[in-house]
Amino acid sequence: MPLLEARSRSALYLVLALVALVAAALPLGTVRSSAAEPTPAAQPSKTVSRYLFTAFTNSSESNMYVYGSDDAQNFWSVQDKAYTPPAGLVRDPSVIKRGGRYYVAYTNGWTGTTFGIATSTDRQKWTHVADIDHGVAANNTWAPEFFTDSPDGKVRIVVSLSTGPTAYRHFQPYVLTALDGTLTKWSKPEPLRGIHPSESHYNGYIDTVIVRRGSTYHAFTKNATGEVIEHAVAESLTGPYTFKGRGDWAGWGDLLEGQTVVRLPNGSYRMFMDGYTVKKYYYSDSTDLEHWTPKKELPGLSGIARHGTVIQETATELPTDNNPALPGYHADPDVMHADGNFWIYPTEDGHPGWSGTRFKSFSSPDLVNWTAHGTALDLADVSWCHQNAWAPAVVKRGGTYWMYFSACQSIGVAKSSSPKGPFVDALGKPLVAKGQFGHQSIDPDVFIDDDGAPYLYFGQGGFEAARLNNDMVSFATQPVNITPPGYNEAPTVFKRKGRYYAMWSEDDTRSPNYRVAYGVSDSPLGPFTKAAGNPVLSKRESDQILGTGHNSVIQVPGRDEWYVVYHRFARPGGDGTHREVAIDRMRFNDDGTIPTIRPTQRGIKPVKGITS
C-alpha cells in the first residue's frame, strides 16, 4: 500500500471515530437532521392509498365517468363525461395504470367482435387507442376486464363472448394476452375451462373478474341464467375452474352484475356490484374471497354509476418526509411571519366545485411543525356572500391583521387583532366586485413595501395591481392591468435586494401541468418582465407530483433565506379539487434570477435560529 494512501485512510478512520464519539455524546432524543440521513428503523415508510373508479352511468352508455376516493367507499367526481368514443358505446370500462398512463378496455357495442381501448395521462382527458378484433366468430363481445396479476407480469383481458347459435346467449369468458406495450396487439383468445354454458345454464357466464390470491385464481362471474354472481377457483388462469359458490352462495341476492374487486390496505377485499334493475350500486367486503359481508349501497354513486372498475393507486411516504406540510386537503396557501410564528392561510379543499365556505389558520415556529387554529373567517358571517371561499391573503399592518379573500368571485376584506382570527368583515361589501375589471376578481395578494405603502394584486385572466390607501380598505390608485405572457391567476409579489418579483400560475388548477412562472420589475406596480428559464416550478411525474401552483413566498426574518409554499394534486390520485400544501426551498442566483425549484416529498428541514 502506498504511504500516502495509508495516511489518508488513517485520517479517515480518525474522522469516523470522532463522529461516532460526537454522536454518542448527543442527548437522548436529539433529532439529527441531514439530507442523507437513512430512514430510522423504528419509523417505517407508510403507503398512502387512493382509488380510481371508471364507469358508465344510468344516464349515458356513450360517455365514461371517472371518480376518486380516499377509502374505496366515498367517491368524488374526477371528470364527468371524461371519454366519448369515436363511435359506439363505452359500457363496462375496466381501468389499469401502466407506465404512467391509464388505460380502459370497454364494451363498444351490443353486438360484434370487437372491444375498445382508450388511454389517458391525467384521468380527465382520454383518447381512443383502437378497437380490438379478437378474431373469434361471436355474436356479442362484452365486459372486457383487465387482469394484471399473473406471475409473469403480462397484461391480459378477460372478455365474455357469445359464440352459440343465437345472440345474447351461450356466453363464455375468454382470456387474451397483450403482445406489446401499446395494448393494440393481442393473442388469440383462450376459453376459461370450467366456466361455460350448459343445458341448465344456457345463457352462460358474463362479467367475469379474476383475483389471484397466492397460487389460486378466484373467478367471480355472473350466471346469466340465474342472474347471480358465482364463485369458481383454479390453479391456472385458464383453468380448469371448479365452482365453490353457486346460486346465492354469498347472500347478495340476484339481479346483480358488473362485479369488480379491489384490495384494501388492510389486506381484505372489496367487491362492487351493479344492481342494474333497481339502479343501485353495492359493495361487500371479505378477508379471504370466500366469506363476504352483506351488500351495502355505495354512498353517493348508488343510483348514478353503472358497471365499472375500481383500482388502487399508492404512494410511499417516508418518516423523513415533511410534505404535504398541512394535513388533509388544502390549496391556494398564503404564508407570512408574525408574532414569532409562521402562518399559513389556505383554501379549504375537497369540496365539489371549490364550494368551501370558510378559511382556517395554521401556525408553526419552524415551517415544519404546524398547529391548526380552526376557523379564521366563516362566510356565514359575511353579509354579502356565503359561498366559494377561495385564496385568502393576510398581512399585518400596525397592530391589525388584514385578510383579503375571494368569495362569490369578488374580493372582500376582513380584519382581526390576532393572526389566528377570528377575522371580521371590514367593509360589508366587496372591495372588488365580480367582473369589475373584465375577468374573474379572485386570488388577491397583498404586499407592504419597505416604506410602509400597501399594494393589492389580483385576478384570473388578468393581473391587476394597485396601491391601497393607509386605511387598507380603499384604493389610492386605480388597478392597472399588467398581465405578463402566459399568466392565468394567483399573483404573489415580494421584494429582494431592491427588486420586485412577481410570481403567478399558468394553465388551469385542474391540470397536471399547472405551474409557476415569475418576472421582475423596478416598481411594485410593474410591469413585470417574464424571466428566462420559466416555469420556475412545475410537475415532477416521476414522484407523482402534479399540478404545482398557486404559491406564496416567505423570507426567514433577518436572513436571505427563502421558501415557496404552494399546492399540488394530493399524492396519489388527487385532482383540481383535492389538493395538498407543500413547502420547498427557493434560492437565488448571484444575478438575482431564480433557479428551477424542485418539488419534493422530503420538503424542508425545520427553520431554526430566527432572530426577529
Cα–Cα distance, 131 to 114 (Å, whole number): 6
Question: Given 464, 489, 506, 580, which residue is catalytic?
Answer: 489
Helix and strand tally (H, E) in the chain? 1, 39
CA triple 49-177-235, angle to 5 deg: 75
Q: Which regions of 163-294 does DSSP assign to beta strands (E)? A: 171-177, 190-191, 205-213, 216-223, 228-234, 242-245, 257-263, 269-275, 280-286
Rounded CA-CA distance 70/284 in Å is: 17
Other CB atoms within a 10 A radius of the CB of residue 474 amount to 11
Owner of C-alpha cell 434570477: 593
What is the rounded CA–CA span in Å between residue 282 and residue 253? 12
Q: Establish whether 199 is a catalytic residue.
A: no
Please give the grid coordinates belonging to residue 298: 355505495
Instruction: Say which residue the cell 376486464 belongs to.
Output: 145
Q: Which segments of 71-162 are extended strands (E)?
A: 75-83, 91-98, 101-107, 114-120, 127-133, 140-147, 156-162
Q: Give the integer Cα–Cα distance in Å for 579 and 546.
A: 10
**C-alpha cell recorded at residue 83:** 371519454
d(CA 92, CA 108): 9
Which residues, 6+ apart, have CB-to-CB distance to 17 below 8 Å?
none
Identified catalytic residue from 332, 425, 445, 506: 332
Q: Residue 156, exposed/middle/buried by CB under 10 A (0-12, 13-18, 19+)? A: buried
Q: Is 489 a catalytic residue?
A: yes
Rg (Cα) of the chain, in Å, rounded? 29
Cell numbers representing residue 552 in the block = 406564496
What's the number of CA atoms in the CB half-sphere (13 Å) around residue 48?
Answer: 19
Torsion region of 427: left, alpha or beta (phi above 0 gives left; psi -120 to 50 gives alpha):
alpha
For residue 448, list its beta bridge partners.
454
Active-site residue set: 332, 489
